[in-house]
Structure 1
Amino acid sequence: MWAGAADIVDGPGGFSGVEASEEWAAEIKRLARQRGATILAHNYQLPAIQDIADHVGDSLALSRLAAEVPEDEIVFCGVHFMAETAKILSPAKTVLIPDQRAGCSLADSITADQLREWKADYPQAIVVSYVNTTAEIKALTDICCTSSNAVEVVESIDPNREILFLPDQFLGAHVKRVTKRENLHIWAGECHVHAGINGDELAAKSRVHPDAELYVHPECGCATSALYLAGEGFVAEDKVKILSTGGMLDAARTTGAKQVLVATEIGMLHQLRRAAPDVDFMAVNDRASCGYMKMITPAALLRCLVEGKDEVHVDLDTAHVASKSVQRMIEIGNPGGGE
């Protein structure tokens, strides 16, 4: 065993004591091969974790990939609901998360009991849930959606049917604005990181960089402000792009802009810079870092591969029902990116 494994320390912010290095990377690769494991990393992970992973992407894309790869063990470097989704789509595989304490403020913003009560108030409504939800919530959902296909999912539903959209209020507002559906009820949940990227910051950065394109995640509190700036002529309309993380990467590969302001979790900048190294990508808020995502440290990943921890379990009945809401989304059309 590599001596670094003995240096792992568990603390309130996660596992530490091991730094990313060439030796660490070689040991991670060796252990993954030994275990027959595939390492998946979300776009918001630490750069070192993204660089060591076999595949990097958004949560749904990675979960679907987990079902397709030949390996029987999946190490999901992301937050807990993402690893759950991988388990839902790959029930026969072993799914590990390097630190099971890596939660999600958005997924935690609605409980199964709260959803049951909401559904009781609207018994004929269709429940549309963002994939950034727990397995329990997915099992109570009619159709899942991603940030890139939420509009398409909602538009596929009978316009006379009421819709309960959850849990993200900003994505819900974006969908309601585009579809103009008055019978779309929105849960007041949010991602604390995205909600903290505000319109004032976006406006200030846009004034300093007037020629920059704006990539804004629809979970952001500033998404409405971005559209307002465009509508008022402060920013050219064609420079404002409301995009999922996958959509941001697609846009980066084809942009002609020299500068891009990015409103999402700062881990995304690493992949954007790799996709378009000649473009200057700048965070709208450079403090927009998810502490849960960053719990997947080099030490946590090493521990995971050495000890086989932490395994993610989803009750088989729950997984079976939850998978139907994801499958209905896929049948509607392009499932797009995870978030």
Structure 2
Amino acid sequence: MNNNLCFFQLSDTAVKLEAGLCAADFALTQNKESLVPSHFDSQQALELVVFGQTSIGQLHNLIAGSDIDINALTRINIRNRQSSYRFQVSSQNPAQSRQLLAQFSLKHNIEAALLKDAPSLSEPGLLVMDMDSTTIEIECIDEIAALAGVGQQVAEVTELAMQGKLDFAQSLVQRVAQLSGAPETVLAEVARDIPLMPGLKPLVASLKQHQWRVAIASGGFTYFADHLCQLLELDGAFANELEIINGRLTGKVSGDIVDADAKAQTLKILSDKFDLDHRQTVAMGDGANDLVMMNSAALGVAFKAKPLVLEQADASINHSGLDCLLHYLK
């Protein structure tokens, strides 16, 4: 499609194109400077992404409430049967605008993102995702604990860790210790009907079609991460290994714990392995343990995340499936 910029005025009821012209035409006019805002820079401007179901009124309120100004409509994407609009925008305080945008999106049940230098779908890239409550709808350790009869004790510790109120490694040791003596068969029982997060399969399929690499970096367990890696034909899976002796869990983890730093290191290991530009890296997660990895990527996306994670992410997906990410990529 033609990617020329279109400049316009936006009210709460209508979008009015400036003189009915696009950027390619502006170069031929005498009043170009009056049409293009003085602070507009096509190379440096932020991008606002909203979806086709967003009403004009919502868009008007969104930009007003987020302290941003729209300069131009740059692209309309149709991906995985959804349409999205990319605007070049400006803000005096992008970090604050991103926070306001996230709050507006949550309150009004829409998806939107304020991005800068987003990776491109059309170029090879890398997506590394958390597993529990991100690629799958459950926390595996909570499911194992429920089957082992210690569900409440483990779930309480899991929640504290997700909120960043308890060191992850410490919390993992405490939770796994509760599983001591549980039969190995509980792992197979959880894996048998593991619920994939909506949008996961189309996201992976679309990224693969565009020569992207996709992997899991999880504070969960290899039993499930390896299962997903095989099921979805992923490019890697990194997780903790439960120690099992004589068919029973010992309540210990074998080897080093995959914590926040290890997740971030996974991103670097894989981008180096596949010779990918760092600008083409994305990390996605929902808990405090994902923040280091998300901050290490070119784009860190919070998926239905805890408030602490939502506050620090570059973008968020709060109501839609994982395939919403496709629209945040250029």
Richer in strand (by share): 2
TM over 0.5: no
**Structure number with bigger Rg:** 2
Specify which structure has the bigger relative contact order, considering alpha-carbon pairs within 8 angstroms and separated by 6 or more residues. Answer: 1
TM-score relative to the length of structure 1 = 0.29
TM-score relative to the length of structure 2 = 0.29
